[in-house]
Amino acid sequence: MSEMFTHDILILGSGIAGLRAALEISMKSDGKVDVGIISKLQLMRSHSVAAEGGTAAVMRPEEGDSFDLHAWDTIKGSDFLSDQDVVYRFVKRMPDEIRRLDRWGIPWSRKPDGRIDQRAFGGHGYPRAVFAADKTGFFEMQTLYDTLLQYDNVTRYDEWFVTSLIIEDGVFKGVTAIDIPTGEFHIFKAKAIIIASGGIGRVSGFTTYSYTVTGDGVAMAYRAGIPLKDMEFVQFHPTGLIPTGILITEACRGEGGYLRNSKGERFMERYAPSRMELAPRDIISRSIITEINEGRGFPGPNDLDYVSLDLTHLGEGMINERLGFIRELTMKFVGIDPVNEVIPIRPVLHYLMGGIDTNIDGKASGVEGVWTAGEAGCESLHGANRLGTNSTAECLVYGGITGNEALKYIDGKELRDFSKDAVQKEKDRLFKDMLKRDGKESVYELRAAVRDIIDKHMSVYRTGEKMEEGLKRIREVKERYKNITVRDKSKAYNTDLVFALELGFMIDVAEVLIEGGLRRKESRGGHARLDYTKRDDEHWLKHTIAKYTPDGPEFEYSDVTITTWKPIERKY
């Protein structure tokens, strides 16, 4: 039987962004505002626990770091597509987030004199990554969760799958969800929502992301009429472990690791002589692919040719203390001990710079009552390429900002009724249509097809021809999706149905990604085209905005906010 649950504010997702937002609301309202956190996973299994290398913040102004420098690094790293007012707001708020986590008890790695330690990261002109060994995300999640336990205004819905947002007349009213263990369909009413549902990594077959990161929140917002922004900008992290794609953190290079080709050369000398292995990720990823394409890589399995990451000169003591998790990973997964062997790596799909279009407060465009924080949202902090460690940082800052904004918004507001039709339609879609579909297409073959399309047509180097073909293929998959079978017709833990719903979200997201890329006729940050090799500020210094229509996305463009730094050529 369907039930109706009500809360003042709903948070969709329990990663760093969602938990930080829940804490902001709880702290600011003295535990009075009623919050519901819905997560399709057990709360602590959100992908955020996998974050390894660190979280960026200016902690040592007296020793040479500054807000201007962090802002400049972020803006230059973004290939000048970040909104600069957003960047300044972000860098100024970050140090307090680090100190707050410290007070809440996080075990930050420390210097011998007791101060919080910081390490170097790519594209940052100062070593500003605060870290907890190489398990930063895990400790951040633990600390946020522990602190949240002090409040009893928060209700958890673990293993509940949100299927749609209910937005009527431009106002948020609630969501529909399936309680995965029982398979029952339920409705949530709330005055506001913070979407903190994470990225889209699993649209690719070679990705650092866990299997659950399928773009659900991004696609639900899009379907509900909220535009998506800059979706063509997807980040390739330079060092994915062969053959699985497991992340080998950039901290390995921050701590002094080298990249070498098959001739043993530190090839970054050719591409970014001043920053070498600590150039931004887009540049290193392109350099690795160029080395491989020019015959200086190693042949790998499944076309995954690679180069190597060399930590052997760092010494066992340092690797154990600061990169112990990486040693464990490579030993367990590929039988390689980085103390005396090199690690096989290649660029791997890692991060979505784009996402749900929001303003500087994380408020979603064009609707009332919706905010978004973390990887799902795009307030235009990372532009065309994110710097490492700016993402967990963004989750903390925007979890805080959106928690506070949603709290202000609900003051004096009532829960709103919505039309029974909207709910009935969703229920029919799930249980009369999806579950009853008896077509010949397999959900798993189509999921594999999406991955193949993104990997072949939207990889590190793109061309118009490849993207054109990719778009054609994804549209075919979209048609075939209408003809799938959900073989498991039962209710309890019907993961077959969940996978089918996730596939629908992935297809929508992939279409926007490919078409956005095809339309953007330039190379900028993570979007590198072999047929338009130059950045073109005259025509393309703008954000891509994609709006849902039943026949596919419609595109518009919006201005980039430039307050301080004029675009210049990006060299390292």
Please enumerate in sequence order all residues whose Cβ is within 8 A of that of 369, keeping only pairs 6 or more positions apart, or say none: 171, 172, 173, 191, 192, 193, 409
For strands 129-130 and 55-56, give the pairing. Answer: antiparallel
Nearer to ligand FAD, 197 or 287 (CB): 197
Q: Which stretch, 9-17, 304-312, 364-372, 506-514, contacts ligand FAD (CB under 6 A)?
A: 9-17
The catalytic residues are 237, 253
Contact between 79 and ligand FAD per CB under 6 A: no
Give least dist CB 72 to ligand FAD, A.
19
Nearer to ligand FAD, 41 or 512 (CB): 41
Nearer to ligand FAD, 199 or 517 (CB): 199
Phi-psi category of 238—alpha, beta or left, where left has phi over 0 and alpha has psi -120 to 50?
alpha
Nearer to ligand FAD, 193 or 467 (CB): 193
Instruction: Judge whether 413 and 34 are in contact, CB under 8 Å.
Output: no
Copy the structure tokens of residue 457.
């047509």
For strands 55-56 and 154-158, give the pairing. Answer: unpaired
Give least dist CB 322 to ligand FAD, A.
13
Residue 102 exposure: Cα atoms within 13 Å on the Cβ side? 17
Copy the structure tokens of residue 414.
């009532």
Nearer to ligand FAD, 239 or 287 (CB): 239
Contact between 41 and ligand FAD per CB under 6 A: yes
Please enumerate in sequence order all residues whose Cβ is within 8 A of that of 277, keeping only pairs 6 or more positions apart, or say none: 122, 253, 257, 258, 259, 266, 268, 284
Please enumerate in sequence order all residues whose Cβ is within 8 A of that of 494, keeping only pairs 6 or more positions apart, or say none: 180, 183, 486, 488
Q: Which stretch, 206-214, 265-273, 357-365, 534-542, contacts ligand FAD (CB under 6 A)?
A: 206-214
Q: How far is CA 411 from the centre of its chain?
A: 31
Nearer to ligand FAD, 72 or 499 (CB): 499
Contact between 39 and ligand FAD per CB under 6 A: yes
Nearer to ligand FAD, 391 or 523 (CB): 391
Q: Which of 35, 132, 226, 247 lies at the binding interface for ligand FAD (CB under 6 A)?
A: 247
Nearer to ligand FAD, 136 or 523 (CB): 136
Give least dist CB 535 to ligand FAD, A.
25
Contact between 50 and ligand FAD per CB under 6 A: yes
Nearer to ligand FAD, 141 or 518 (CB): 141
Question: In this structure, which long-range contacts are made by residues 310-314, counting pairs with CB atoms below 8 Å and at least 24 apart in sequence?
Answer: 310/257, 310/258, 310/259, 310/260, 310/342, 310/343, 311/252, 311/255, 311/257, 311/338, 311/339, 311/342, 311/343, 312/338, 312/339, 312/340, 312/341, 312/342, 313/256, 313/258, 314/255, 314/256, 314/257
Cis check: omega of the bond before 127, within 30 degrees of 0: no
Contact between 51 and ligand FAD per CB under 6 A: yes
Give least dist CB 450 to ligand FAD, A.
17
Residue 297 exposure: Cα atoms within 13 Å on the Cβ side? 21
Give least dist CB 498 to ligand FAD, A.
8
Cα–Cα distance measured from residue 500 to residue 438, given in angstroms and rounded to the nearest whole number: 13
Q: Which stretch, 41-49, 107-115, 304-312, 449-457, contacts ligand FAD (CB under 6 A)?
A: 41-49
Contact between 404 and ligand FAD per CB under 6 A: no
Copy the structure tokens of residue 435.
């579950």
Please name every residue paired with 177 in a beta bridge, in sequence order, or none if there are none.
162, 186
Helix axes 495-519, 464-481, angle to 10 degrees: 150
Sign for the pseudo-dihedral over CA of 533, 536, 539, 541: positive
Contact between 88 and ligand FAD per CB under 6 A: no
Q: Which stretch, 39-47, 86-94, 308-316, 510-518, contacts ligand FAD (CB under 6 A)?
A: 39-47
Nearer to ligand FAD, 280 or 470 (CB): 280
Q: Which of 213, 323, 406, 477 lies at the binding interface for ligand FAD (CB under 6 A)?
A: 213
Sign for the pseudo-dihedral over CA of 481, 485, 490, 492: negative
| Dihedral in degrees, nearest 10, Cα atoms 74, 79, 80, 85 | -30
Contact between 517 and ligand FAD per CB under 6 A: no
| Binders in 123-182 for ligand FAD, by CB under 6 A | 136-137, 161-162
| Binders in 361-400 for ligand FAD, by CB under 6 A | 374-376, 389-393, 395
Q: Which stretch, 99-107, 195-203, 292-300, 448-456, contacts ligand FAD (CB under 6 A)?
A: 195-203
Please enumerate in sequence order all residues whose Cβ is within 8 A of that of 485, keeping only pairs 6 or more positions apart, or say none: 437, 438, 439, 440, 441, 442, 443
Give least dist CB 56 to ligand FAD, A.
7
Give least dist CB 24 to ligand FAD, A.
14
Q: Which stretch, 62-70, 190-198, 341-349, 423-431, contacts ligand FAD (CB under 6 A)?
A: 190-198
Please report, for residues 104, 112, 163, 486, the alpha-carbon distance to residue 490 in angstroms, rounded to integers and kept in the order given.
44, 58, 18, 10
Give least dist CB 178 to ligand FAD, A.
9
Contact between 98 and ligand FAD per CB under 6 A: no
Q: Which stretch, 208-216, 338-346, 449-457, 532-540, contacts ligand FAD (CB under 6 A)?
A: 208-216
Q: Which of 52, 117, 426, 515 lies at the binding interface for ligand FAD (CB under 6 A)?
A: 52
Give least dist CB 287 to ligand FAD, A.
21
- Of 231, 277, 229, nearest to 253 by C-alpha is 277
CA angle 549, 555, 559 (to 5 degrees): 140
Q: What is the DSSP letter of 297?
A: S
Q: Total binding residues for ligand FAD by CB under 6 A?
A: 44
Q: Which of 26, 55, 82, 385 lies at the binding interface for ligand FAD (CB under 6 A)?
A: 55
Q: Which of 75, 87, 187, 196 lies at the binding interface for ligand FAD (CB under 6 A)?
A: 196
Please enumerate in sequence order all residues whose Cβ is within 8 A of that of 169, keeping only pairs 6 or more positions apart, or say none: none
First-residue to last-residue Cα distance in the chain? 60
Cα–Cα distance measured from residue 393 to residue 48, given in angstroms and rounded to the nearest whole number: 11
Contact between 46 and ligand FAD per CB under 6 A: yes
Q: Which residues bind ligand FAD (CB under 6 A)?
A: 12-18, 38-41, 46-48, 50-55, 136-137, 161-162, 196-199, 208-209, 213, 216-217, 247, 351, 374-376, 389-393, 395
